[in-house]
Amino acid sequence: MTPFEAATHADPYVYYSRLRRQNGLSFDADLRLWVASDAQAVETILAHPDCRVRPLNEPIPPAIAQGIAGGIFGRLMRMNEGARHLCPRMAIEPALRSIETENIAEMVSRVVETLDNPLENPDELMFTLPVSVMAGLIGLPSSRLREVAGLVRDFTACLSPLSDAAQLGAAHCGATRLSELFTQLLRSDAESSRFLRHILSSGEAIDWSDHDALIANLIGLLSQTCEATAGLIGNTLVTLHRNPGLIADMHTTPKLVADLVAEVARYDSPVQNTRRFVAKRCTVRGNVLAAGDTVLLLLASANRDSYANPDPDSFLLKRTQRRTFSFGSGRHECPGQQLALTIACEAISVWLHRYTAQADHPCRWSYLPSLNGRIPKFYRGQENEQ
Ligand code: HEM
């Protein structure tokens, strides 16, 4: 197995544990990259100023550089360091943190009414719901949310090296339409959303007035929400299918759903790995990383390191001082963590509320093709896996 294959393997965790035992930071000569698998190595590299989110000579992947999706990619805080990272982050992070749980719950219940049978069609809960909630919080009109969820799925294809020409074409179209929708919103209706007003006023406070970067990062909020939250909800459904006893526990004590989602985020992360690119020669735990080297950080493996979480391979709802690397750490740590956990918690509560053991639920799954995401695709009894 390679660390890329591990992301969508049925059980990558024995392999990760072997990597950690051999060496928490080692060079894989076949893949020609460093692999960080233990918690200390992952944390150190994520905090390192010379380990950057993009290669210095390739800020935008060549496959999308010529189109509108590339223009958006190049402005995302996630894909930048320095001012292009810090300014949007300082404008958007406080707004994300200020969203109240009640507002999220209210938005979820509004969107749930528009979903197409989320129990038989888990994609609705996994993909359509979280993106629609984020888009609604930003202020896009409710009549547009379903369209937006589809456009965002199209756009996210530009973030994967596995996408083909047709998918990249659709990503450019999605990016064009999303830019139009946000341009309209900012021109006419920006005052209607408390969240957007918060972003605009935080931006003004730091003198950040880059309109194109604002639009790119609003699209970025939707794309960052899309697959990772779909994976978080999907992997929670996988856990419930594997442990039907948990379904009964959740019915008896609904407050446990928040603990369930938080432990799934650690135990079976939707984001299995991320990468860093060495900008300047540096030494990490006695290893010399040369400028131009790539490091693959196995977040899902770090979660299972006993240094970070005692008894790491046990699934414990009431784990004390849970340490979760699934949301990253350091300067690019996910600012949407709390929002994502709340949306997932609400989505799973909806599922539990409608669940009956007798119905023909989709209860087999495989994982969508990806080098870093772990997102289940569910099938019903007679359906074939593709
Ligand atoms: C409401 C849903 C979400 C939103 C709005 C969101 C937003 C973001 C944003 C804007 C960033 C870039 C931060 C920066 O570069 O400074 C980010 C990073 C990240 N997010 Fe999220 N996110 C969401 C859900 C999730 C979920 C469910 C996961 C996984 C469990 C996740 C994992 C990550 C990771 C690992 C990073 C950092 C990647 C790296 O440093 O290489 N996110 N997120």
Helix (H, G, I), strand (E, B) or coil at 176: helix
Place of tokens 């930048």: 80
- Architecture in CATH of 3-379: Orthogonal Bundle (1.10)
Single-letter residue type at 164: D
Residue located nearest, by CA, to atom 32 of ligand 1: 327
pLDDT at 190: 76
Centroid of ligand 1 to alpha carbon of 202 (angstroms) = 20
DSSP state of 113: T
| pLDDT above 90 for 382 | no
How far is Cα 98 from Cα 196, in angstroms, rounded to an integer? 11
| pLDDT above 90 for 362 | no
Give residues (CB < 6 A) around ligand 1.
Answer: 53, 77-78, 85, 89, 134, 220-221, 224-225, 228-229, 232, 265, 269-271, 274, 326-328, 332, 334-336, 339-340, 343
How far is Cα 284 from Cα 305, in angstroms, rounded to an integer? 18
pLDDT at 6: 98
What are residue 276's DSSP bridge partners?
295
Residue located nearest, by CA, to atom 25 of ligand 1: 228
Residue located nearest, by CA, to atom 1 of ligand 1: 340
* pTM metric for this prediction: 0.97
338-347 pLDDT, tens digit per residue, is 999 999 999 9
Q: Could you tell me which of 151, 155, 105, 157 has the C-alpha nearest to residue 128? A: 151
Element (H, E) at 297: strand 294-297
Task: pLDDT band for 363, please (50, 70, 90 cuts).
Answer: confident
52-100 pLDDT, tens digit per residue, is 999 999 999 999 999 999 999 999 999 999 999 999 999 999 999 999 9
Single-letter residue type at 130: P
How far is Cα 302 from Cα 285, in angstroms, rounded to an integer? 16
Mean pLDDT computed over 366-382: 92
Strands 33-36 and 294-297: parallel
- Domain regions of the chain by residue span: 3-379
263-300 pLDDT, tens digit per residue, is 999 999 999 999 999 999 999 999 999 999 999 999 99
Strands 33-36 and 51-52: unpaired
Q: Could you tell me which of 117, 31, 101, 55 has the C-alpha nearest to residue 343? A: 101
Structure tokens at 21: 């035992």
User: Which atom of ligand 1 is nearest the CA belonging to 130?
Assistant: 1
Mean pLDDT computed over 303-320: 98
Task: pLDDT band for 385, please (50, 70, 90 cuts).
Answer: low
How far is Cα 11 from Cα 134, in angstroms, rounded to an integer? 31
Cβ atoms of 37 and 298 closer than 8 Å: yes
